[in-house]
Amino acid sequence: MSIKDVIYPFVAWKKIVKKPVTIKDPINDRPGAPRYRGFHKNDIQECIGCGTCEDICENEAIDMVPVEGIETKDGDSGLRPRVDYGRCCWCALCVDICTTGSLKLTNAYTWVEEDPEKYRFTPGVDKKPWDNEEMGWNRPEPNYEFYQLNRVTMEHLHPEERDDSFVEMIKGYSKEQAELEADRCVECGICTATCPAHMGIPEYIKAIRNEDMEEGLRILYDTNPLPGICGRICTHKCEDVCSLGHRGEPVSIRWLKRYIADQNPSEEYKRILETESITKNGKSVAIIGSGSSGMSAAHYLSLMGYECTIYEKLSKAGGMMRFGIPEYRLPYDQIDKDIDYILSLGVKIVYNTTIGKDITLEELGEKFDAVFAGTGLHLGRSTRIEGTDHKHVYQAIELLRKITLDEEIHVAEKIVVIGGGNVAMDITRSLARLQNRKYGKVQVITTSLETEDIIPADKEEVIEAREEKAVIMPGWAPQRIEIENDEIKGLHVAQCESLFDKEGNFNPQCNLDNKKFYEGSMIVEAIGQGMDLSYLTEDIKEHLDISPRGRIGVNEKFQSGLPWLFIGGDIIQGPDVIHGIANGHTAARGIDEYLTK
């Protein structure tokens, strides 16, 4: 034993003369440490009710409950977390996992109530003294995340590799990339509520993590019989509301759907989906159009035992999926993969048949037990400005159809496209490729009424069009096409200052003092799509509810005023593949209910 060991115990004696610290009111005068884990607070406006806090709580101390004044909407469940302090252990996992960062722990730790039920409350709704307390437990920054905030980058062909080719530009995820991206999903289900088809998104993403592609395919086909197509061109509204997008980038839901579809060979579909033998019920349904809604209806009706015959106006199936979307976005073999499986269920297609010309709608009604019409939006719309009747003014829909059919089209050295939607970007990028092939350079200008911040096309479409050397000029309104000696010289435009009037009506206003001229000898209009309802005779129309703008009224099962006639797809809900798939499925259930009950 050293001398230090002997003396050390007496060191404490030096404090004998110090005044002791006494806290007279320890309940109120002793605050918690700055990062103490005390009671919860929640910003209910920032919270989206995703429920990740409830899922992670091992003590089941959190329940998601409805709150008065908070409505369910896209991206918000309308629920908020209620905490039971009889169960809470203050581990703070709920705060650490919170996707929006709305939930926090204050450093308040004292709370006295006689009623034990008071210790079950909804932070941010039931007002508490600590609601404005800034100190407490927050997620440590940086590098303290339960999930990666940035998505796994999808590889694609570089602009110089694709600007004169229609080869698919998106390469798709590898196994390692798909699993890394799937690991980001917190399984909140906010996406499922927003998806028009209400696909089991967290479930099929979980199948990727479990490396069970067959189970993933079964989950896809529960609500979407066109996964290979939809995994490439879906408008992915689900990603817009993904809870991870509040603090980082949303999960790549569309690409993960594509990954599952790509991993399963088509020859194995019937075994995986257990559709090798279907019992027929002796009833038949005619389907007009082989687009997303028609194919979806045919798929689900076939599984129910109905004989389905599709009548298609064109020479190939797919509708606007095939004839309105360029091959570099949606390869034809992927369209065929999805459609061929549906045909393998016994669905028949009669090609090159126009309803109202080759066979009437009334004849279909007599021949079949029910009819579903999903005829799509195959007609273009014109600006009707001066000069649009020139032979070198084209509709985008018409040109895209001819490109699909590999028909030769007029490609000028300088082209102006009018429109700001995805169809406008599709024709812009298609013409840019054809220009590059023919002239070795791109000279296409695309102009839209909408400014850059509200242009309706997907942002990646605009970015990729510019990468391919197209010039995108948002915020300019077409005024007139200049024609000289029967040759188009270009398009006059004026700055568009507003799109809608005070009543919300579409009424563009322009600054005529700010004009431009876009040179070109070919003009393409891509300002919208229209429906061709010429197959509806006057006798049929008498039984239908048709609005002044041409919309046909249907009930929640897409049944029209004629009980045997169901109508869905783009002509009911607008141009969107996933909406078409969803209402084709709903219509199939409606037809089954009509024919069996």
> pLDDT class for 415, splitting at 50, 70, 90?
very high
Q: Which of 179-193, 387-401, 540-554 has the lowest mean pLDDT?
A: 540-554
Q: Which of 9-18, 38-47, 157-166 has the lowest mean pLDDT?
A: 9-18
The answer on pLDDT for 142 being more than 80 is no
Tell me how far apart the alpha carbons of residues 591 and 593 are, in angstroms, rounded to a whole number: 5
> Residue 461: its pLDDT value, please?
95
The answer on pLDDT for 413 being more than 80 is yes
Tell me how far apart the alpha carbons of residues 266 and 255 are, in angstroms, rounded to a whole number: 19
**Which residues does 538 contact at the CB level (< 8 Å), separation at least 6?**
none
User: Of the ranges 16-20, 212-216, 573-577, which is most confident?
Assistant: 212-216
Q: Give the closest residue to 297 by CA, choosing from 192, 371, 376.
A: 371
> pLDDT class for 361, splitting at 50, 70, 90?
very high
- Domains present along the chain, CATH in parentheses: 27-137 (3.30.70.3270), 164-271 (1.10.1060.10), 282-378+540-568+577-596 (3.50.50.60), 381-527 (3.50.50.60)
* Residues facing residue 109 across a β-bridge: none
pLDDT tens per residue across span 509-529? 999 999 999 999 999 999 998
> Residue 332: its pLDDT value, please?
96
Tell me how far apart the alpha carbons of residues 429 and 419 are, in angstroms, rounded to a whole number: 13
* Residues facing residue 83 across a β-bridge: 62, 121
Q: Tell which wins on pLDDT, 506 or 284.
A: 284
Q: Tell which wins on pLDDT, 379 or 490.
A: 490
pLDDT tens per residue across span 253-274? 999 999 999 999 999 999 999 9
- What is the pLDDT averaged over residues 238-246? 96
> Residue 282: its pLDDT value, please?
96
Phi, psi of 14 (to 5 degrees): -65, -20
> pLDDT class for 431, splitting at 50, 70, 90?
very high
Tell me how far apart the alpha carbons of residues 45 and 557 are, in angstroms, rounded to a whole number: 35
- What is the pLDDT averaged over residues 104-127? 93
- Average pLDDT over the chain, rounded to whole? 94
> pLDDT class for 451, splitting at 50, 70, 90?
very high
CA distances for 160 relative to 127, 341, 464, angstroms: 59, 35, 11
Q: Which of 130-139, 190-199, 222-231 has the lowest mean pLDDT?
A: 130-139
Q: Which of 7-11, 184-188, 568-572 has the lowest mean pLDDT?
A: 7-11
The answer on pLDDT for 128 being more than 90 is yes
> Residue 186: its pLDDT value, please?
95
> Residue 206: its pLDDT value, please?
98
The answer on pLDDT for 26 being more than 70 is no
Q: State how far Cα 585 lies from the chain centre.
A: 18
> Residue 173: its pLDDT value, please?
97
> Residue 31: its pLDDT value, please?
78
Task: Kindly report the pTM of this predicted structure.
Answer: 0.90
Tell me how far apart the alpha carbons of residues 285 and 308 are, in angstroms, rounded to a whole number: 5
> Residue 418: its pLDDT value, please?
98
pLDDT tens per residue across span 48-68? 999 999 999 999 999 999 999
- What is the pLDDT averaged over residues 209-218? 98
